[in-house]
Structure 1
Amino acid sequence: MRIKLSIILSFVCIFSFAQDKKSKVLQVPYYTQPNADTCQSTCLKMLAHFLNVPGKDDPITQIYDIVNFHNDRPDQKVCKDEKGNIEGCNRWNNIIWWWNTRSGYYADKPKEPKLKMKWRILDDQAKTIEHIVSSIDSGVPLLVSVSNSNTTGHFVLVVGYQNYLKNQSSPDFNIVCHDPYGEFFPELQSRLFGKKRYEKGFTKADGSEHAVGAGVEIGIDSLAKFKANDGEYKDQFVLFGAE
Structure 2
Amino acid sequence: MIYDDFYANVYDDLVFNQIKNDYEVGEIVNKTTPDTESLILDIGSGTGHHVKSLTDMGLNALGIDISPAMVKIAQNAYPDLDYRVADALDTMIFPSESFTHITCLYFTIYYIKDKRKFFENCMQWLMPGGYLTLHLVDRDNFDPIMPAGDPFGIVSPQSYADKRITSTVVKFNDFDYKSNFELGPNDIAIMNETFKYKNNGNVRKNEHKLYMPTQTKILSLAKETGFILLSQIDMLRCQ
- The structure that has the greater radius of gyration is 1
**Greater share of strand:** 2
TM-score tier after normalising by the smaller chain length: under 0.3
